[in-house]
Amino acid sequence: MPVLQNESSRRAGIINKLMENWRQPYPTFEEQKALTCISLPYTNIRAAQYGWKESLPFPTKWPYGMPRTYRTIRDRHITIQLMPFQVAIPYNIYDKEDDQLGDMDTHVSMVVERFKMLPDQMVAEYLNNALGTNPLNDAIETAYDGVNVFSATDGDGNNRFGISGGNIVTGSGVSAAAIMHDMAVVQRRFLQFKDTENQPIFNEATVQYSRLHAIIPNTLNEVFQRITKQEMIRGDAGSITAESNYLKGEFKYHLNPYLTDSSDYFVVVEHKYWKPFAFREPGGSGLRQIFADRSNSDRARDLNEEALLADVRNGMRPWFPATIVKVNN
C-alpha cells in the first residue's frame, strides 16, 4: 500500500520555514450552502423518505342549495440515501520519526477539513448538471415533479410552475446591460410561478431584489461588481449614455469556483424554509476519525505503519426548484 511520501522532509538540514503551506483551513461556502440547502435532522434510516403536503386547496364558489365540493391534499416525498465518504492516509512509523519538519501528524489531521467541502461540491454537480471527475452524488437525481432541477416543463410535460420556460431563463448575454435586464426577468419569473392550485408561490415582498442572490462563476466577477457597486452604469444595450444604477446594492452575488460554464449563472430566493436542495447532515456518529497505531492495530504492528482513518455519511437530493432559476447564456 502506498504510504505518505516525505522524502524531502526527511532530508538532513531541511528548514521548516515553509511548513505552513497547505496547512491553512480550506475554503468553504457556508453562505451559499445556507441559501441552497435545508439541513435535515439525522436518522439512521439509510434511504430515508422525507414528505410534505402539496399546495393547499383554494376556496371555490358554493352556490345556494348546492352540496360542497370536496378537495384532497396530495402527499409528496423525496428519498435521500446516506452515502459514506472516507479518507485514509497511511505512513511508516520510521518516516514519521525521521521527519525533520516535525508536523506530519498536524498535516494528516488537517485532512478532515476536506469533509466540510463536500456539500459545496455536491450542489455544484447539480448546478453543472453533470457528475464531477470524482462523483460525489450517485447520480443527478430528479426533483419531486419528475424532472431535473432546471427544466422548462414538469414530469407531465406541462409548463413547470405554470409558466413557459419553467425555472430556466434564456439569458441576454454577460454585459452589464444584459445582466441587469435578466435580473429583472428572473424576478418577474419568480412572481409568475404558480402552485398546483394555480395560485402565486411568491409575492413581491419575498422576491424583492434584496432577497435575490446570484451564484456566479468566477469569470463574471468583474461585471457583477460593476452592477452591484457602481453609481452610474450603462443599463441599456442600445444606449451609450450612463444612467443611475437602480441595482446598486440591491442584490448579492456569490462566486462559485466549481461552476464549469463561464457565462451561465443562478439566482436563488433567500427564504427561511424553502430551499432548492435537501442535505442530510452527518449525525449519529458524525465524522469519525481514528488513528491506527501500535496500541490499537494489528496491521500497524505488523507493517510498522500508522494511519489516519476518517469517514462520514451524508446525502443530498433536489427539493423545491421553484426557489432557484438558471440564467442560460
pLDDT digit string, tens, across residues 129-142: 999 888 999 999 99
Put simply, whether the predicted model's pTM sits higher than 0.75 gets the answer: yes
Dmax (CA) for the chain in angstroms is 99
Tell whether the torsion through CA atoms of 250, 256, 262 and 267 is positive or negative: negative
Can you give the three-state secondary structure of 63-119, one letter per residue?
A: CCCCCCCCCCCCEEEEEEECEEEEEEEEEEHHHHHHCCCCCHHHHHHHHHHHHHHHH
Classify residue 159 by its DSSP letter. B
- The CA distance from 33 to 39, in Å, is 9
Strand partners, 315: 280
Taking the C-alpha atoms of residue 276 and residue 38, their distance in angstroms, rounded to an integer, is: 8
Count how many Cα atoms sit within 13 Å of the Cα of residue 313 in the half-sphere of its side chain. Answer: 16
- Residues 192-210, mean pLDDT to the nearest whole number: 94
pLDDT in tens, 276-287: 999 998 866 678
Q: Which of 58-67, 131-140, 225-234, 263-272 has the lowest mean pLDDT?
A: 225-234
The answer to whether residue 23 scores a pLDDT higher than 80 is no
